[in-house]
Amino acid sequence: MANRITTLFNSGQRDLLSIYFCAGYPQPDNTVEVIRTLENNGVKMLEIGIPFSDPMADGPVIQNTATEALRNGMSLGKLFSQLRNVRPAVQLPLLLMGYLNPVMRYGFEAFFRSCAECGIDGCIIPDLPFDDYLRDIKPLAERYDVKVIMLITPETSDERIRFIDQHTDGFIYMVSSAAVTGAQKSFDDSKQQYFKRINAMNLRNPRMIGFGISNCDTFRAACDNASGAIIGSRFVTLQAETSSPQDAITALLKSLTTNN
């Protein structure tokens, strides 16, 4: 069976919506419920957050979410046990997003083996050094058919971007700014220039834009300059404000189609 990430991007679909949520939040055992609810509402890909005590790339919303999830007893081992039977009831691509420390403690080969056993299609490890990825992680990931997704920012050089494009597969995560995660009302001219610069490079991999996407304007800008958008902080905020995953995704989808 082809990797679901590859299948999604090969389908030629545009305006893809990918959602990040943190496992173990707001309840310790609702991971599968969130996954099923989001798929049923047309979300095309999911990033399941592995909570960590020092999430350096994340803003206060996701930091607080991770802290609450850890208080709820969530761990990488517990997450894998929750995901053990999620396939084949759920068809959309699933990625795990987390920092190097929990993965290292779990064991790299054990991590990728567990991903394969649970039907996880990819992972994002923001603090994984690229040299370590090439030497140690890429062979494991390829053995278990798990895509390792790398991030680029406006500060990433063209040379580095082409190197990442050459040595990774799945898609490239375009971080909209050098700041931490968090909602923004619009993308300024410098971000728009960054999007145009990457478009002009004609990269091999498809791209998704994340960080700061929270409304119709930012979602449209992301979709106009990549295959789609990744939304995290806004969905997590709506989880806190509403009573169910269904209410949260309903409110999010409304905000993405309605101009403020």
Phi (first) and psi of residue 203, to 5 degrees? -70, 160
> Cβ atoms within 10 A of the Cβ of 53, count?
11
Catalytic residue among 33, 39, 58, 145: 58
- The reply to whether 58 belongs to the active site is yes
**DSSP symbols for 8-35:** HHHTT--SEEEEEEETT-SSTT-HHHHH
Question: What separation, in Å, do the N-terminal and C-terminal C-alpha atoms of the chain show?
Answer: 43
Helices 216-225 and 245-257, packing angle to 10 deg: 70
Looking only at the bridges linking them, the beta strands covering 151-152 and 147-149 are: unpaired
Residues 103, 109: Cα–Cα separation, whole Å: 10
Burial of 241 (0-12, 13-18, 19+ CB in 10 A): exposed
Catalytic residue among 47, 121, 145, 169: 47
Both structure tokens of 246: 């269904």
Name residue 231's beta-bridge partners: 19
Residues 78, 203: Cα–Cα separation, whole Å: 37
Residues 183, 40: Cα–Cα separation, whole Å: 24
- Say if residues 113 and 139 touch (Cβ distance below 8 Å): no
For residue 93, cis peptide bond before it (omega within 30 degrees of 0): no
Active site residues: 47, 58
